[in-house]
């Protein structure tokens, strides 16, 4: 897999474009398989109301705590069993995927946009602006994001919107730092000086010259961040700080089933397993993207 | 060297001040603190009275410095639910949280170092590829799910270990493992890549050329040099460990600071939440300061270079 040209950690702005061209030529099954599976999951999530055999909150007290169909006592009517209120686990997993995927995606977009904008400004203009944002970032990085989340959600109250807000607030720093260090390098390139001499405005240079150069790095980082966001959303919902019951979410379902783990293992473990599979696919895809687009970010291939 | 430490110290104090400002502002994020105390059906006159009695009518900067002045003296307000000082509550539960985090950290670094060194020495082997793939997988595991699965296997099915609470060392095993697993992925990757870097360096090649044995190269030369990045990563991962500890403590009913903070959220007991955020933030900053100083002592390039 390492027959890609090994790129030096060089500041040549052309290396990333070369990498993209190389990537187009070699899109192998390592990229296609996880991408296809992920598309399948996204499709199942979007079409949950069509595919799901039941309504997400439909209770059927006559068929409470049914095990998955392959276990004795299970039935094909509830493939993955039912919970203590007789709700279909498969249905709730399908609907729960909507929360994980949408919160993950919206959170990443918010973090990315805010972080990249701040990063471009702070990287482009040295001086007090950069110092302010970087020091603010240091303060935030000292607070673990789940701890900051607890503080903010304690103040604002638990809800889906607040989870997204918290994730955006806690995460812009990571993108901004990434962008600042890249912008500082790109800014010193001769072509930026030439563009300036030719009369280009600062804004034009930022968005036309600097941003396209750092885009591959940002995309790779965001794809890995997406998995992280889904995990964090799951944790917050598990802690009761995110999606509120009875709306199904993978973390919330795990919390509800936690007490019944000795008698009905499927309620708590299956939603979590869905999260594991989804995040693993996202991470595999992210790693593949990194190999193709931005080998400089790779920590495992530093040889 | 001393200059460097003083610089870092000043910087750490600034960061702690920043954290204290965020912590202080949390109360205002929750809404008008006077209304919060008075309750929703209080008359405007009652609210105004509470506002004046608690000093909420003063300029916000004055309130912040007043709060900070008390905070420095160890007074972070009183938990209105239990009636006890908020800081006392958090500090009382902190040792159990730290026990969990330190155990997980030791576990993760030991496994990470062994796995990372073996992967680096046998670079490109099947084991090495397994480690890389495994670290991606491990980082896709949500801690709450891992905890539940561990309970299912070792408590509910095999009945080897207790599920929740803390009444003896055996209660520590499952939570520490659940918390450590995520970090094992990070540590083994960092150890692997920094080992590879050192193994490829000139001085290792020289040692090899002079006939040093493989074991003495790996343990005498390479691991000693690769230890530096590992120490830094421990500092960087500490925040993640605190975050993971919140989830782990909840899964295993561990009587640490997270249980306090989470029940404080339910009752909007902001003083306890503030104490929680501030204590964790200060701990992370101080640990990173210590690590920075240790790093400077260990790395001759910094120790000698700054004279």
CATH code that applies to domain A15-302 = 1.10.3720.10
B285 to chain A nearest CA, in Å?
Answer: 6
Of A103-112, B165-174, B222-231, the least confident = B222-231
CA dihedral B150, B153, B157, B161 (to 10 degrees): -50
Q: Could you tell me if B208 and B217 are in contact, meaning their C-beta atoms sit under 8 angstroms apart? A: yes
Per-residue confidence (pLDDT) for residue B23, from 0 to 100: 92
Q: Is the pLDDT of residue A36 over 90?
A: yes
| Structure confidence at residue A73 (pLDDT) | 83
For residues A167 and A144, what is the distance between their CA atoms, to the nearest angstrom?
Answer: 12
Residue B303's pLDDT band, with cuts at 50, 70 and 90, is low
Across the interface, whether the CB atoms of B26 and A155 are under 8 A apart is answered: yes
Q: Which residues of A159-178 are buried (b: 16+ CB within 10 A; e: fewer)?
A: ebebbbbbbbbbbbbbbbbb
Q: Give the model's pLDDT for residue A232.
A: 93
pLDDT at A132 over 70: yes
C-alpha distances in Å from residue B209, one per residue of B122, B194, B205, B214? 19, 21, 6, 11
CB atoms within 10 A of CB B281: 27
- Rounded to the nearest 5°, which phi and psi values hold at A298? -75, 120
**Residue A24 scores a pLDDT above 80:** no
According to DSSP, residue A68 is labeled: P
B243-298, pLDDT tens digit by residue? 899 999 999 999 999 989 998 988 888 899 999 999 999 999 999 898 888 887 87
Percent of chain B topping pLDDT 70? 98
State how far the alpha carbon of A119 is from the alpha carbons of A21, A111, A159, B250, in Å. 27, 11, 29, 36
- How far from B230 is each of A54, A83, B108, B193, B238, CA to CA, in Å? 50, 44, 11, 11, 12
Mutate to test the interface with B, among A37, A139, A232 (most CBs of B within 10 A): A139
Tell me whether residues B192 and A300 touch, CB distance under 8 A. Answer: yes
* Among candidates A147, A234, A273 on the partner chain, residue whose Cβ is nearest the Cβ of B280: A147
Task: Give the angle B278-B179-B18 at the CA atoms, nearest 5°.
Answer: 20
pLDDT (0 to 100) of residue A225: 92
Task: Determine which of A13-17, A127-131, B114-118 has the lowest per-residue pLDDT on average.
Answer: A13-17
C-alpha closest to that of A54 among A21, A89, A15: A89
Report the gap between the CA of A196 and the closest CA in chain B (Å): 36
Backbone angles phi, psi at B247, to 5 degrees: -70, -45
> Which backbone phi and psi does B60 adopt, to 5 degrees?
-65, -35
B240 in contact with A, Cβ within 8 Å: yes
Interface test with A, best of B132, B243, B259, B263 (most A CBs within 10 A): B243
Would you say B229 and B194 are in contact if contact means Cβ atoms under 8 Å apart? yes
Which region holds residue A127: left if phi is over 0, alpha if psi is between -120 and 50, else beta?
left
Q: How far is CA B62 from the centre of its chain?
A: 32
Question: For the range A190-199, what are the long-range contacts, defined as Cβ-Cβ under 8 Å and sequence gap of 24 or more?
Answer: A191/A13
Query: Are the CB atoms for A243 and A160 separated by under 8 Å?
Result: yes
> Using one digit for the tens of pLDDT, what is the confidence trace for A100-115?
999 999 999 999 999 9
Contact at CB, A258 and B251, closer than 8 angstroms? yes
- The conformation of residue A63, written as its DSSP 8-state character, comes to G
| Chain B hits for A138, Cβ within 8 Å | 15, 18
Can you give the pLDDT at residue B144? 94
- What distance lies between CA B140 and its chain's CA centroid? 19
Q: φ and ψ at A82, to 5 degrees?
A: -130, 165
Chain A residue with minimal CA distance to B237? Answer: A144
CB atoms within 10 A of CB A240: 18
Tell me, what's the pLDDT at A17?
53
- What is the dihedral sign for C-alpha B69, B72, B78, B83? negative
Are A146 and B265 in contact by the 8 Å Cβ rule? The answer is: no
Work out the average pLDDT over B167-188: 89
Minimal Cα distance from B284: which residue of A? A142
Domain boundaries, chain A: 15-302
Nearest CA among A89, A48, A97 for reference residue A67: A89
Place of tokens 């072509």: A191
- Averaged pLDDT score across all residues of chain B: 87
> Min CA distance, B241 vs chain A (Å)?
8
| pLDDT at residue B224 greater than cutoff 90 | no
- What number is the average pLDDT over the span A152-175? 90
pLDDT digits (tens, 9 = 90+) for B77-103: 888 888 899 999 999 999 999 999 999
Residue with tokens 């199904």: A248
Per-residue confidence (pLDDT) for residue B196, from 0 to 100: 87
Q: A83 CA to chain B: closest CA distance, Å?
A: 16
Across A10-14, B75-79, B118-122, B263-267, least confident range: A10-14
Distance of alpha carbon A57 from the chain centroid: 27
pLDDT number for residue B248: 94
User: Which tokens belong to B102?
Assistant: 């330190």
> Considering CB atoms only, which of A138, A145, A151 is closest to B273?
A151
Window from A8-12, A125-129, B255-259, B301-305 with minimum mean pLDDT: A8-12
- Residue in chain B closest to A284 (alpha carbons) equals B136
CB contact under 8 A, A147 and B242: yes
- Please indicate whether, in this complex, the C-beta atoms of B276 and A272 are within 8 angstroms of each other: no
Task: Evaluate if residue A96 carries a pLDDT over 60.
Answer: yes
- pLDDT given at position A4: 42
Q: Do the chains contact at A150 and B246, CB–CB below 8 Å?
A: yes
Min Cα distance A139 → chain B (Å) is: 5
Distance between CA atoms of A115 and A177, rounded to whole angstroms?
A: 8
With an 8 Å Cβ cutoff, are A151 and B148 in contact?
Answer: no
Chain B residue closest in CA terms to A154: B265
Q: Is the pLDDT of residue A224 over 50?
A: yes
List pLDDT tens digits, range A173-209.
999 988 888 888 888 888 888 888 888 888 888 888 8
Under the banding of pLDDT at 50, 70 and 90, the label for residue A55 is confident
Comparison of pLDDT for B138 and B165, the residue scoring more: B138
Q: Is the CB of B196 inside 8 Å of chain A's CB atoms?
A: yes
The burial class, CB within 10 Å (0-12 / 13-18 / 19+), for A143 is buried
Cα B198 to the chain's mean position, in Å? Answer: 28
Q: Please say if the pLDDT value at position A144 is more than 90.
A: no
Residues in A touching B285 (Cβ below 8 Å): 142
The nearest alpha carbon in chain B to A302 belongs to B193
Of the listed ranges A242-251, B34-43, B124-133, B142-151, the least confidently predicted one is B34-43
Q: Is B192 on the interface with A (CB under 8 A)?
A: yes
- A243-297: per-residue pLDDT in tens? 888 899 999 999 999 888 888 899 999 999 999 999 999 999 988 888 777 655 5
Rounded CA-CA distance B224/B111 in Å is: 17
- The answer to whether B137 contacts chain A (CB < 8 Å) is yes
The answer to whether the Cβ–Cβ distance between A150 and B19 falls below 8 Å is no
**pTM for the full predicted model:** 0.86
Nearest CA in chain B to A250: B145
Q: Tell me which residue has tokens 């992370």.
A: B284
Report the SS3 class of residue A88.
strand
* Cα gap A278→B145, rounded to integer Å: 13
B278 touches chain A (CB under 8 A): no
Q: Give the mean pLDDT of chain A.
A: 84
- Sorted by sequence, the CB contacts under 8 Å of residue A62 that are 6+ apart come out as A86
Q: In this predicted structure, what is the pLDDT of residue A27?
A: 61
Q: Which burial class, exposed, middle or buried, applies to A199 when counting CB atoms under 10 A from its CB (0-12, 13-18, 19+)?
A: exposed
């Amino acid at each position: 897999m390492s027959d890609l040209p090994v790129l030096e950690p060089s500041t040549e702005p052309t290396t990333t474009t070369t990498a993209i061209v190389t990537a187009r030529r070699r899109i192998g099954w390592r990229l296609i398989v996880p991408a296809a599976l992920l598309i399948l999951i996204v499709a199942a999530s979007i079409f949950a109301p069509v595919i799901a055999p039941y309504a997400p909150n439909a209770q059927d007290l006559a068929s409470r705590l049914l095990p998955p169909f392959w276990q004795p006592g299970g039935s094909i009517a509830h493939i993955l069993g039912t919970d203590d209120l007789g709700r279909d686990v498969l249905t709730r997993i399908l609907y729960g995927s909507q929360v994980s995927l949408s919160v993950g995606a919206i959170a990443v977009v918010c973090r990315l946009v805010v972080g990249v904008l701040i990063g471009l400004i702070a990287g482009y203009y040295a001086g007090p602006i950069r110092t302010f944002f970087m020091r603010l970032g240091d303060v935030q990085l000292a607070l673990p994001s789940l701890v900051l989340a607890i503080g903010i959600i304690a103040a604002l109250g638990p809800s889906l919107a607040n989870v997204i807000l918290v994730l955006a607030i806690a995460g812009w720093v990571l993108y901004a730092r990434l962008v600042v260090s890249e912008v500082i390098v790109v800014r010193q390139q001769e072509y930026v000086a030439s563009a300036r001499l030719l009369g280009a405005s600062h804004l034009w240079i930022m968005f036309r010259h600097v941003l396209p150069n750092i885009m591959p790095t940002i995309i790779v980082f965001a794809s890995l961040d997406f998995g992280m966001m889904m995990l964090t959303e799951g944790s917050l919902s598990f802690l009761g700080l995110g999606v509120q019951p009875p709306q199904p979410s993978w973390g919330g379902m795990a919390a509800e089933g936690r007490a019944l783990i000795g008698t009905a293992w499927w309620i708590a473990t299956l939603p979590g397993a869905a999260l594991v599979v989804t995040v693993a696919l996202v991470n595999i895809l992210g790693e593949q993207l990194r190999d193709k687009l931005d080998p400089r970010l790779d920590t495992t291939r530093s040889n | 060297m001393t200059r460097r430490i003083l610089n870092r110290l000043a910087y750490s104090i600034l960061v702690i001040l920043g954290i204290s400002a965020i912590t202080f502002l949390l109360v205002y994020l929750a809404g008008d603190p006077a209304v919060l105390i008075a309750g929703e059906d209080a008359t405007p006159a009652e609210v105004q009275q509470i506002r004046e009695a608690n000093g909420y009518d003063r300029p916000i900067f004055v309130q912040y410095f007043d709060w900070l002045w008390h905070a420095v003296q160890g007074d972070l307000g009183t938990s209105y639910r239990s009636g006890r000082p908020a800081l006392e509550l958090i500090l009382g539960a902190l040792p159990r949280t730290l026990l969990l985090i330190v155990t997980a950290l030791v576990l993760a670094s030991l496994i990470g170092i062994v796995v990372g060194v073996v992967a680096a020495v046998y670079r490109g082997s099947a084991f090495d590829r397994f480690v890389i793939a495994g670290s991606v997988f491990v980082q896709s595991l949500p801690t709450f799910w891992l905890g539940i699965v561990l309970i299912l296997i070792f408590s509910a099915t095999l009945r080897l270990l207790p599920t929740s609470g803390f009444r003896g060392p055996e209660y520590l095993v499952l939570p520490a493992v659940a918390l450590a697993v995520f970090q094992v992925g990070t540590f083994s990757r960092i150890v692997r890549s920094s080992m590879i870097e050192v193994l490829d360096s000139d001085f290792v090649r020289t040692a090899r050329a002079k006939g040093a044995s493989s074991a003495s190269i790996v343990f005498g030369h390479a691991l000693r040099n690769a230890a530096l990045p590992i120490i830094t990563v421990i500092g960087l991962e500490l925040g993640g460990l605190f975050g993971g500890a919140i989830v782990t403590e909840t899964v295993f009913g561990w009587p640490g600071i997270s249980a306090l903070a989470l029940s404080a959220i339910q009752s909007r007991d902001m003083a306890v939440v503030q104490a929680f955020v501030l204590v964790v933030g200060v701990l992370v900053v101080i640990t990173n300061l210590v690590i920075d100083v240790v790093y400077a002592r260990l790395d001759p390039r910094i120790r000698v270079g700054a004279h």
